[in-house]
Amino acid sequence: MRILVIGSGGREHALVWKLRQNPEHAVFVAPGNGGTAGVAQNVPIAVDAITELVDFARREKMDLAVPGPELPLTLGIADAMKRAGIPCFGPDAYCARLEGSKRFAKEIMAEAGVPTAACAAFTDIAAAKDHVRKQGAPLVIKADGLAAGKGVVVARSLAEALAALDEMMEKKVHGAAANTVLIEECLQGEEVSFLCLCDGKDVLPLPSAQDHKAVFDGDSGPNTGGMGAYSPAPLLPDHHLERMADLVVRPVAAVMAGRGHPFVGVLYAGLMMTADGPKVLEYNVRFGDPECQPLLMRLESDLAQLMLACVEGRISRAELVYRRSTALGVVLCARGYPGAYPKGMEISGLEELGNDGAVKDAGVVVFHSGTVQKAGKIFSSGGRVLCVAALGDGLAAAQRNAYAGLEKIRMADGFYRRDIGAKGITFLQSE
Ligand code: AMP
Ligand code: GLY
């Protein structure tokens, strides 16, 4: 197959790395990064240049398009590819609103009967502030639209909640994304990422994963795109996956199909495991980054065949085989992230890790996020730079292997969390 992956992050490196394990696939990636350049052909087209991406896919006779991030999906890339006759593994723009509008997601959850936090939506700042004062802290304030993962404030005090409303609704720090603001009940518990492959009718759950959103150890500091992840998450073992799909994914797939927009692609439920049971924090309409990296390290089946089965409506007959071992990835960032950070640092030590695409147990794979390749060398170009991932026989072994790999890599002004996996290990010890 000829496959076009769209995106430039660690998730996309993992996607092309996995797709390329079948040597029969020719893989292109737009625009890609310094890591994807080594396993696929980078094509200099931006993720939001929908017309150019479709033209390229048509001209180069792609058999499958795989958008990685949410932006092209909300801009309608799946609709445009479909019009051009190119199979696309991703939802149409209508379904992508599940991620693109938190208010829309709440409406669908209410219709589907999915458990989620109580919530009210506001377009008027005075009404929003009244509501906040009546409810009292803690509360969660969310911009309705896409805000690069920065549109959520978990306000521990009334002052923080009011300040967040000022930032979003008056200063417009997220622009039009916060024209509508949601004020949500603050849930307590551990978070789990639950991703399913969807073909419009049927849903096939993937193993669970756990992200680490806060920038510093012990889940302190501001939220990021994700500082590390592992799969499986002990909080959501394999024998609960089908039940979880029945609770939070199949009802949503049924509502979307009923509205004439069957959901095709990955539907990712961000869950909070509360004392009252699991509740959905958000939906994403794509693989998570960095969850995708450990998830795909564990996957043994041919990913392109699974994606095609989704596009062709036959995922119920597809076989999903994954390794029993645990995979864990740690993200190396540039100092300052998620705020301002330096770029252009040279990264060395990568060659020692023998990144040949083969995965052996205890093997380490380095997935690139914000990197560029120049004259055979790799330089940083983003806040999240690399995700060093490893397999292991259990969470503690995967953690040891990933950190051992990370120690071989050198980059000035880099930092990473030292405790990826620690909470899961504590949970396992408490069982
Ligand atoms: P979201 O983008 O909606 O997943 O929110 C980002 C992060 O904010 C989540 O991963 C949670 O850590 C936190 N969060 C979102 N909604 C809530 C909520 N209702 N209660 C507690 N924490 C939340
Ligand atoms: N890692 C969380 C996300 O991709 O949204």
402-426 pLDDT per residue, tens: 999 999 999 999 999 999 999 999 9
- Residue of the nearest CA to atom 5 in ligand 1? 152
Q: Which ligand sits nearest to residue 387's alpha carbon?
A: 2
pLDDT band at 362; cut points 50, 70, 90? low
Q: How far is the CA of 424 from the centre of ligand 2 (A)?
A: 18
- Residue of the nearest CA to atom 3 in ligand 1? 282
Q: How far is the CA of 300 from the centre of ligand 1 (A)?
A: 32
Q: Which ligand sits nearest to residue 227's alpha carbon?
A: 2
Q: How far is the CA of 152 from the centre of ligand 1 (A)?
A: 7
Q: How far is the CA of 161 from the centre of ligand 2 (A)?
A: 24
- Residue of the nearest CA to atom 3 in ligand 2? 288
Q: Where in the chain is the domain with CATH 3.40.50.20?
A: 2-92
Q: For 268-280, what is the mean pLDDT?
A: 97
With tokens 């199949």, the residue in question is: 250
d(CA 266, CA 196) in angstroms, rounded, equals 6
Q: How far is the CA of 212 from the centre of ligand 2 (A)?
A: 9
For the domain made up of 124-179, give the CATH fold.
Dna Ligase; domain 1 (3.30.1490)
CATH architecture designation of domain 2-92: 3-Layer(aba) Sandwich (3.40)
Dihedral of alpha carbons 418, 370, 295, 208, sign: positive
Helical ranges in 26-142 per DSSP H:
36-39, 50-59, 70-74, 77-83, 93-100, 102-112, 125-135
Q: For 347-361, what is the mean pLDDT?
A: 66
Q: Which ligand sits nearest to residue 116's alpha carbon?
A: 1
Decide: 140 in ligand 1 pocket, CB within 6 A.
yes
- Residue of the nearest CA to atom 13 in ligand 1? 154
pLDDT digits (tens, 9 = 90+) for 157-203: 999 999 999 999 999 999 999 999 999 999 999 999 999 999 999 99
Dihedral of alpha carbons 391, 195, 278, 190, sign: positive
Residues near ligand 2 (Cβ within 6 A): 211, 225-226, 284, 288-289, 291
pLDDT digits (tens, 9 = 90+) for 279-330: 999 999 999 999 999 999 999 999 999 999 999 999 999 999 999 999 999 9
* Token couple for 388: 């060093």
Do residues 93 and 78 lie in contact, with contact meaning Cβ atoms separated by under 8 Å? yes
Q: Which of 146, 284, 367 to mutate to test the pocket of ligand 2 (most atoms within 8 A of CB)?
A: 284
Q: What is the per-residue DSSP string for 263-278?
A: -EEEEEEEEEEETTEE
Q: How far is the CA of 156 from the centre of ligand 2 (A)?
A: 23
Residue type for position 217: D
pLDDT band at 354; cut points 50, 70, 90? low
Query: Which ligand 1 atom sits closest to the C-alpha of 211?
Result: 10
Predicted confidence at residue 353, as pLDDT, reads: 72
What percentage of residues in the chain have a pLDDT greater than 90? Answer: 92
* Token couple for 55: 């033209």
Q: How far is the CA of 126 from the centre of ligand 2 (A)?
A: 32
Helix (H) or strand (E) holding 192: strand 190-199
Predicted confidence at residue 99, as pLDDT, reads: 97
Q: How far is the CA of 261 from the centre of ligand 1 (A)?
A: 27
Helical ranges in 187-328 per DSSP H:
241-248, 250-258, 292-298, 303-311
The CA distances from residue 49 to 97, 162, 331, in Å, are: 19, 37, 28
Q: For 239-250, what is the mean pLDDT?
A: 98
Predicted confidence at residue 356, as pLDDT, reads: 47
Query: Which ligand 1 atom sits closest to the C-alpha of 185?
Result: 19
Q: How far is the CA of 130 from the centre of ligand 2 (A)?
A: 32
Q: 267 pLDDT exceeds 90?
A: yes
Q: Which ligand sits nearest to residue 153's alpha carbon?
A: 1
Q: Where in the chain is the domain with CATH 3.30.1490.20?
A: 124-179
Collapse the DSSP code of 97 into the 3-class scheme (helix H, G, I; strand E, B; otherwise coil) and give the result: helix
- Provide the mean pLDDT of the chain: 95
pLDDT band at 148; cut points 50, 70, 90? confident
Q: For 136-149, what is the mean pLDDT?
A: 91
- Residue of the nearest CA to atom 5 in ligand 2? 288
Q: Which of 101, 106, 140, 194 to mutate to test the pocket of ligand 1 (most atoms within 8 A of CB)?
A: 140
Q: How far is the CA of 142 from the centre of ligand 2 (A)?
A: 16
Q: 38 pLDDT exceeds 90?
A: no
